[in-house]
Amino acid sequence: MRLSYSAMTRSPAVAVICGSRSDLPSLKGCFDALDSYGIAWEASVISAHRQPAELASYVRGAEAGGTLIFIGAAGLAAHLPGVLASMTARPVIGVPLDGGALGGADALYSIVQMPPGVPVASVAIGSAGAKNAAHLAARILALADPALAERVTAFRAEQASGAELRVDPRSAS
Ligand code: RP5
């Protein structure tokens, strides 16, 4: 018998963790996109620098509960996704957030330059990256979830139709 994901697990499929409450507004697009796919998620504020023990405990609990993908979002010296990847063998997606003096380049480099064998899938800086973290998580989960795969396909079709040329080129100067 094939049980649905929610029947087998206590934790949501996706855990979104950010380093500070100040990061939450940048993640709205991520939360909205996860909702649009019907993916169960939860968000937590746990700093890798300020609360490493709490982070380790959270990851242990989430893994035991069945969480499949971790999204880590942080700004400045953004070590959170890398530390997550050190604590779990499940996929980690890193979202570099802007806001510091370096406009997010600091966070991007911190996240993307992981040493071999400890992978983090980095997305773009800021809210665009936050949205893509959700879309990437959906694509990963869809590999083993045919109903979600259909929703991913539907989203892509909708996006393609939205990209059609809607202006009259004769009026363009
Ligand atoms: C990072 O430092 C956080 O992810 C946040 O982006 C940044 C600033 O944190 P706060 O000083 O607002 O807590 O760790």
- What is the tens place of the pLDDT at every residue in 32-77? 999 999 999 999 999 999 999 999 999 999 999 999 999 999 999 9
- 97 pairs with which residues across the strands? 75
Mean pLDDT of 77-89: 98
Model confidence at 173, in pLDDT bands (50, 70, 90)?
A: low
The string of pLDDT tens digits covering residues 122-136 is 999 999 999 999 999
User: Pick the residue with more confidence: 124 or 2?
Assistant: 124
Model confidence at 164, in pLDDT bands (50, 70, 90)?
A: low
Question: In this structure, are strands 92-97 and 14-18 parallel, antiparallel, or unpaired?
Answer: unpaired
Residue nearest to atom 3 of ligand 1 (CA): 19
DSSP string, 18-79: ES-GGGGGGGHHHHHHHHHHT--EEEEE--TTT-HHHHHHHHHHHHHHT--EEEEEEESS--
Tell me the CA–centroid distance for residue 65 and ligand 1, in Å.
28
- The CA distance from 79 to 109, in Å, is 10
Tell me the CA–centroid distance for residue 118 and ligand 1, in Å.
23
- The CA distance from 82 to 118, in Å, is 8
Probe residue for ligand 1, chosen from 20, 24, 26 as the CB with the greatest number of ligand atoms within 8 Å: 20
- The CA distance from 7 to 5, in Å, is 5
Amino acid (1-letter code) at residue 69: I
Ligand 1: residues with CB < 6 A are 18-20, 22-23, 47, 74-76, 97, 99
- The CA distance from 41 to 108, in Å, is 24
Which DSSP category does 62 fall into? H
Mean pLDDT of 148-159: 96
